[in-house]
Copies of this chain bind each other. A is one copy, B any other.
Amino acid sequence: MTVMKYGQAIDYALGETMARDDDVLTWGEDVMLIHRDLLARFGPERVRDTPISESAFLYAGIGAAMAGLRPVVEIMLVDFLAVAWSGIANAASKFRDFSGGSWEVPLVVRAGCGGWYTDGGQHVQTLWGQLSAYPNINVVCPSTPADAAGLMLTAVQSDEVVVFLEHQLLSEQWIDYLGGGSRATVSFDRLVPADGAEGDVPLPLEPLPLGQAALRREGSDVALISLGVGAHRCLEAAEALASSGIEASVLDLRCVSPLDGNAVIEQARKAGRVVVVDEDYVRGGLTGEIAALLLEAGVTTKYARVAVEGTIPFAPHLEYAALPNADRIAAAVKGLE
């Protein structure tokens, strides 16, 4: 057990797999500087800067994975994955099926996602709902260093495609890289969930199976379901609600796909009230899928969603209001009464 930061935990897990398996390597824009510790340990053949050619180097990851490597392809921010979308939509998600099941694509796509630190509507999306629409694409977004390490271990060892989204607000690497580190005049303390950004990581690392939600808080009045920073916002809201006598459970899905439907249904059954909190867009994100799971299972429940309703504005106070913050969550819960 040791204390790690969120980004550090991911790189730690990646480093451990790289040490064990020569076929694991990583490339992406600026990875040599961002992951300088991995570079120092494994050398420039296995930690490699790319040109700003997301399509080519993502498709190259697919080709390399099918030819024997286990690439971890880093796309700085998930928004930029849009320029390489075909690699996900038409290739990574399809090739195993096209081959009739005979050819695996052991690929990890790593990208930052999420807002709260103010970078404008093209740099703070999550897109996780859409990514998980495609067949054979696993999508994870951990909310703590321990989960981040465990899920990265699983991702790299998996023979399937895993999109590993690291939340930019939790990642000290991204916050620092984007210039934050050099000015004392700005503090993200009010915004960064402290035990998401830093926390205990059990050693030796264990892979964390995909599709297992974690119950972060017990509570019988309402079930808050989320992941990533959203899980922390739910906990914030739960504290506030507790003071008005409402006990909320908080379920951290950890994976968007596969999605832990059983855990969702269990919490919904218990509480009879569900609020899905999603940093993705209201359409095509988590909220609809969870509603469908509930209806399919015949669970009778009240339901509300707190998600991103439109373009995420740049101005920090507008961004804060547009993201699923604790106030919005608490209001949604109260709206269910």
Instruction: Mark A residues whose CB is within 8 Å of B.
Output: 55, 79-80, 82-83, 85-86, 88-90, 93-94, 97-98, 120-122, 125, 127, 129-130, 132-136, 257, 280-281, 283-285, 287-292, 294-296, 298, 300-305, 309-311, 313
Contact = CB atoms under 8 A, between A and B. Distances in A.
18 contacts: A79-B90, A82-B86, A89-B127, A98-B121, A98-B311, A129-B283, A130-B130, A133-B284, A284-B288, A288-B289, A288-B292, A291-B295, A291-B296, A294-B295, A295-B301, A296-B304, A296-B305, A298-B302
A257 B281 CA distance: 13
A135 B281 CA distance: 8
Interface centre among A82, A281, A292, A300 (most CB of B within 10 A): A292
A82 B89 contact: yes
A129 B289 CA distance: 12
Nearest to A83: B86
Contact of A310 (B97, B284, B296): B97
A115 to B, nearest CB: 14
Contact of A283 (B86, B133, B305): B133
Contacts of A89: 79, 82, 85, 125, 127
Interface of A is mostly: mixed
Contacts of A125: 89
Copies in the complex: 2
B83 A281 contact: no
A303 B313 contact: no
Given A135-B311, A291-B292, 13 more contacts: A79-B89, A79-B90, A85-B85, A85-B86, A97-B310, A98-B311, A129-B283, A133-B280, A284-B289, A288-B290, A291-B295, A292-B292, A292-B305
Nearest to A288: B288
A94 B79 CA distance: 12
Nearest to A55: B83
A298 to B, nearest CB: 7
Nearest to A135: B310
B134 A121 contact: no
A236 B130 CA distance: 30
Contacts of A280: 133
A274 to B, nearest CB: 8
A114 to B, nearest CB: 15
A175 to B, nearest CB: 22
A72 to B, nearest CB: 22
